[in-house]
Structure 1
Amino acid sequence: MADERTMVLRRAVSPEDADAAAGVWLRSFAAALPSVVRPRTDDEVYGYFRHVLVPLHETWVAETEAEGGGGVVGVMVLEGEELAQLYLALEWHGRGIGDRFVALAKERSPRGLYLWTFQVNAPAHRFYQRHGFEAVEWTDGGGNEEREPDVRYVWRP
C-alpha cells in the first residue's frame, strides 16, 4: 500500500498537471496494452490532456513525495457517470492507488458509474470486478478510435 502521508489525490488544474498526467497515461498505456494501436501521437495526447481533459472534465492525479523522487503517478478522469480514464505508473501498481481512485469515483458519482476497457486487458477486468463492476456489453471495437474489441462495465450501489 502507498503510504497515506506521501500520497495525495487532487484535482489536476495546471498545464503542468496535464503534461504529467499525459506522461503517466502514455507510459501506462504502452506497458499495459502493447498490442493496442494508439490512434493519436504523443503530442496529440499531451494536447488532449492540456486542452480537453484537465480544463473541461473532472481530472484527478495521484501525487507522491516518495523517497528518490515524486510527482504524478496516476490519473483518473470522470465525465459525469463515466469513469473515462484510470491509469497508474507501472511501478505504482499494487499499492492501493487504483483502489483510492475507484473509491473517489464512487463518492463523486454515488448513483453509479460505467467504464469501457479493452477485452485484452485482463488485469483491468479483474480490478474492476473486484470493485463491484459487472461486465454488461462486449463490442467488436467498431465504436472506439483504436478499433479494438472492448467491454463496458457498470457499477450500481
Structure 2
Amino acid sequence: MDLLLRRAENTDAADIADVWLRSFAAALPTVGRGHTDDAVRRWFSEVVVPQHETWVAVADGIVRGLLVLDAAEVEQLYLEPSWRGCGLGDRFIDLAKRLRPNRLGLWTFQVNEPARRFYERHGFVEVDRTDGSRNEEREPDVRLVWRP
C-alpha cells in the first residue's frame, strides 16, 4: 500500500478533523476535550488547514494521519488509531525535522505515556511540566524539545 505525505488542502479539513477526533478518543480516554466535535471540525476547516502548515498521510485515498507545524512547534500529530505502530509517526517526525532542522518543540499530556516515549525515541527531551492550568483541557502537560 502506497502512503503519501503531502500538504493538506482545504478539502481535507473534514477528514483531518475526523482522524483527530478518533485519535484523541483512542489515545486520551481520560482527558476531557475542551470543544465539541462540531467545534473541532470548524477549527480544522477555518483555522488549522488554511492558516497553518498542515500535512496529511494518505493511503488508498484516505487520510490516515496529520501533522501541523507552526514555526518550530509541532502543534498536532495524530494518527488513525489502526495506523499507530506502523511507522507513520516516524515518517511525520522525520519530515518535521527536515522542515525545521534547527529545533522543534511540542507539548503533550503527562498521561500520554506512549507519545512521550515516542518523542523521546526521536531525540526530544523534557524541559518543562505544568499543572495544565494553561491548556483548554486543564490536563497536566509536558514540554519536549528536539535540537540536532
Tell me the distance in 2 between the aligned counterparts of 1:61 and 1:20: 10
Counterpart amino acid of residue 39 in structure 1: G
**1:56 and 1:127 mapped to 2: Cα distance?**
27
CA distance in 2, matches of 1:118, 1:99: 19
How far 1:130 sits from its partner (Å)? 0.2
The corresponding residue for 2:9 is 13
Aligned counterparts of 1:52 and 1:37: Cα–Cα separation in 2:
22
Q: Distance in 2 between matches of 1:152 and 1:84?
A: 12
Offset, 1:120? 0.2
Paired residues for 1:114-129 under 5 Å:
114-129=105-120
Cα distance in 1 for residues equivalent to 2:112 and 2:86: 19
> Which of the numbers 68, 77, 88 marks the counterpart of 1:86?
77
Aligned to 1:109: 100
Q: State the 1:81 CA deviation.
A: 0.3
SS at match of 1:85: strand
Unaligned runs of 5+ in 1: none
For residue 30 of structure 1, report the CA deviation from its aligned partner: 0.4
What is the CA deviation profile of residues 2-59 of structure 1, one whole-angstrom value per residue up to 9, with x for unaligned ones? x5xx100011112x30111100000000010011000100010000000111000000
CA distance in 2, matches of 1:86, 1:18: 15
CA deviations on 1:52-91 (whole Å, 9 max, x unpaired) are 11000000000001xxxx5001011000000000000111
1:130 corresponds to which residue? 121
Q: Secondary structure at the match of 1:115?
A: strand
Any runs of at least 4 consecutive aligned residues in structure 1 with deviations exceeding 6 A, and if so which? none
- Alignment length (residue pairs): 148
DSSP 3-state at the match of 1:116: strand
CA RMSD in angstroms comes to 0.8
